[in-house]
Amino acid sequence: VASFQYKGRRDGKHCDGTVEAEDRKQAITMLNGQGVQLQQLSEVDSNKSGSSEGGISLSLGGSKKVKPRDITILTRQMATLLEAGFPLSRALEFVSRQDSSGPMSEMVGDLSRAIQQGRDFSQALADYPQYFGGIYLSMIRAGETGGILAIMLDRLAEMREADEALNDRFKSAMTYPALMLGAMVIALGVMFAYVVPQFATMFEDMGRALPGPTQILLNVGNFAQTWWLAIIVVLVVIGASFRAWTKTVAGAYQYDRMRLEMPLIGGFMIQFAVARLARTAGTLLESGVNMVDAFASAGDVSGNLYISEIMKRALADVRQGKPLAVALSSAPIMPVLLREMIALGEESGQVGPMMKRVAEVYDRQTREIVSGITSIIEPFMVLFMGAVVGMVVI
C-alpha cells in the first residue's frame, strides 16, 4: 500500500490530504468516488519529505508541465491521424515521437502502452483527470461505443480551440485596460509627487492662493506621501480578504453574480459565459448525449457559478416535464437569443445545431467588443489625464 498526496476541489472548495491505495489508479478512483476534482496527485516517497510532482498541471518527467493548450494540440493531432487511417496505438506512438524528451511525450507514451495492453482509450485517459475532464471522457466513450472516435476527437478539438480563442479575447479585453490603468496611476503618482508641489511653490512665490482644484490635488498628494505605508497595508488586507471570500462557495457565487450584473462589462461577461455554455451543449448534443446531461455539463464549464446554478434549477424543472426554454424564462440574465434558439431547437429536434449557432453569434460579438474596447481606451485615458492636468493649471 502506498500513500498519495492530493490537491483538488470538492463542492467548490479547495481540499487536500493524503490517501492510501495500492497504486495511482486506485487512488484516483477512490478520490473520484469522494467527489474530489483532482488538480494534483503525487506519491509520497518514504525516504523524502516531498515529491517531484506539483502544480495544477502535473509534471510528467521534468520541470515543464503539460498545459491546456498542449492537450488541445494533442486532440487535434489524434483527430487528424485517425481520420487519415492510423490505428489508435500507432497514432499515439507517432505523437509521442514528436517530442522525445518532453512531458507530453511521456504521458502519450503511457497512453500508447495502455492501449497495447488492451485498455480502452477512455480508461487510459481517466488516469490523468487533471487533463481530461468528465466531458472529454464522455465524448471519447461515446466515440468508442459508436465507432466514431475520430469524429469525436475532431469535435473536441474544435470545441477546445474555440474556447481557447474566446479565453484569449477575454484576457485581451481585461489586460489592456489594466495596463493602461497602471500606467495612468504611475503618471498620477509622479504628478502628485513632483509636479503639483512645484505649482504650489510657484503660487506661494507669487503671493497668490492656490486654485481650489490644485489645492485638492495637493492635499491628496500630501496625504498619500504621509500615509503611503498604511494605504498599502489597507489595500493588501482588502485584496486578501476579497480573494479569501471569493474562494468560498457563497462568495464565489455572489462574485460571479455581481460580475454579470456590473454596468458596461456585465454584458460582455454574460456573452463570454453563454458562448462557452452553448458551444459545449451543442457539441455534447451532436455527440449523442441527452439534453439534460448535456446542459448540466455545459453549465458546469461555463466558468460562472451563478449561470451554473441557474441551469441546475432549470434542468430540475425539465425533469418535471417543463421545456427548457420555459424553465429558463424565469432567469432574465440569460439572453433572449439563447432562450429563443432553445425553443426553436426543442420544436424542431435540433437543439444541438441551434446551440452551435448561438455560440457563433456570441463569439462574433465578443470579438467586436474587444476591438471596441481597445479602440476607445486610449482616447479615454488621454481625456482623463488632460482633465487632471487642467485641474492643476486652472
* pLDDT value of position 39: 66
* pLDDT value of position 354: 94
pLDDT digits (tens, 9 = 90+) for 339-394: 999 999 999 989 999 999 999 898 888 888 777 766 776 677 777 767 766 665 55
Q: Which 3 state secondary structure label does DSSP give 60?
A: coil
* pLDDT value of position 144: 85
Instruction: Report how far residue 25's alpha carbon sits from residue 334's, in angstroms, rounded to the nearest whole number.
Output: 40
The sign of the CA dihedral 83, 84, 87, 93 is negative
Q: Which residues contact 373 (CB under 8 A, 6 or more apart)?
A: 173, 176, 177
Q: Which 3 state secondary structure label does DSSP give 43?
A: strand
Q: 126-161 burial by CB neighbour count: b if 16+ within 10 A, else e?
A: bbbbbbbeebbbbbbbbbbeeebbbbbbbbbbbbbe
For residues 283 and 160, the answer to whether their CB atoms sit within 8 Å is no
User: HSE of 88 in the Cβ direction (CA atoms, 13 Å)?
Assistant: 22
Residue 327 belongs to some domain of the structure: yes
Same domain, 387 and 288: yes
Query: If you search the block for the grid coordinates 503660487, which residue do you land on?
Result: 203
Confidence (pTM): 0.64
Instruction: Report how far residue 286's alpha carbon sits from residue 152's, in angstroms, rounded to the nearest whole number.
Output: 10
The sign of the CA dihedral 109, 297, 27, 246 is positive
Which of the listed residues 161, 188, 203 is the one where a domain comes to its end?
161
Residue 56 belongs to some domain of the structure: no
For residues 7 and 27, the answer to whether their CB atoms sit within 8 Å is no
Low-confidence ranges of the chain (pLDDT < 50): 48-63
Same domain, 252 and 328: yes
In terms of DSSP H, where are the helices of the chain? Answer: 24-33, 68-83, 88-96, 103-116, 121-125, 134-146, 149-190, 196-205, 212-226, 228-246, 249-261, 266-286, 291-300, 305-319, 324-328, 336-348, 351-393
Query: If you search the block for the grid coordinates 457565487, which residue do you land on?
Result: 253
Instruction: Report how far residue 290's alpha carbon sits from residue 279's, in angstroms, rounded to the nearest whole number.
Output: 15
Q: Which 3 state secondary structure label does DSSP give 388?
A: helix
* pLDDT value of position 326: 92
Same domain, 122 and 178: no
Instruction: Report how far residue 147's alpha carbon sits from residue 170's, in angstroms, rounded to the nearest whole number.
Output: 36
Residue 48 belongs to some domain of the structure: no
DSSP state of 15: E
For residues 285 and 294, the answer to whether their CB atoms sit within 8 Å is yes
Which grid coordinates belong to 254? 455572489
Instruction: Report how far residue 131's alpha carbon sits from residue 70's, in angstroms, rounded to the nearest whole number.
Output: 10
Residue 266 belongs to some domain of the structure: yes
Which of the listed residues 112, 130, 161 is the one where a domain comes to its end?
161
Residue 262 belongs to some domain of the structure: yes
User: HSE of 146 in the Cβ direction (CA atoms, 13 Å)?
Assistant: 16
Instruction: Report how far residue 23's alpha carbon sits from residue 16's, in angstroms, rounded to the nearest whole number.
Output: 18
Best CA proximity match to 37, nearest among 159, 107, 152, 132: 132
Same domain, 107 and 243: no
Same domain, 270 and 339: yes
Contacts 24+ apart (CB under 8 A), 88-94: 88/115, 88/121, 88/149, 89/115, 89/116
Same domain, 155 and 167: no
Same domain, 281 and 346: yes
Residue 14 belongs to some domain of the structure: yes
* pLDDT value of position 372: 73
Residue 51 belongs to some domain of the structure: no
Q: Which 3 state secondary structure label does DSSP give 271?
A: helix
Residue 58 belongs to some domain of the structure: no
* pLDDT value of position 142: 80
Query: If you search the block for the grid coordinates 481585461, which residue do you land on?
Result: 174
Same domain, 228 and 375: yes
* pLDDT value of position 45: 61
Q: Which 3 state secondary structure label does DSSP give 192?
A: helix
Residue range(s) defining the domain that contains residue 311: 162-394
DSSP state of 48: S
Partners of residue 15 on adjacent β-strands:
8
pLDDT digits (tens, 9 = 90+) for 279-328: 889 988 888 888 998 898 888 888 888 999 999 999 999 999 999 999 99
The residue type found at 361 is: V
Same domain, 219 and 335: yes
Strand order of the β-sheet with 13-21 is 13-21, 2-10, 37-43
Which of the listed residues 161, 177, 210 is the one where a domain comes to its end?
161
Same domain, 194 and 120: no
The residue type found at 85 is: G
Same domain, 151 and 252: no
Q: How many folded domains does the chain comprise?
A: 3
The residue type found at 336 is: V
Same domain, 180 and 143: no
CATH code of the domain in which 168 resides: 1.20.81.30
